[in-house]
Amino acid sequence: MAALSEHGVSGKTIRIADHDVRPGVKTDMGGRDAWPEIQAPILGCDILTLSIGHPPAPPSALRERLDA
């Protein structure tokens, strides 16, 4: 983000692994599902960069929720 800020780009880093994002393809899976709060900035962005690593569960949940 520091390198991009030199070009007037602002952004936000969200680590899915740090949040309780439930698997599924609905916009809100209920309970303590953190996706509704995460989805809002994603829908409002012009550019989305994903970095998918390990373990496989958070990236899988992210791909499912992006389908919602």
pLDDT of residue 4: 86
- Show me where the domains of the chain are located: 2-66
pLDDT tens for each residue of 10-68? 888 898 889 999 888 899 999 999 999 999 999 999 888 888 776 666 667 777 888 77
Model-level pTM?
A: 0.69
Q: Residue 24: left (phi > 0), alpha (psi -120 to 50), or beta?
A: left
pLDDT of residue 67: 79
CA distance 29 to 36: 9
CB 68 within 8 A of CB 36: no
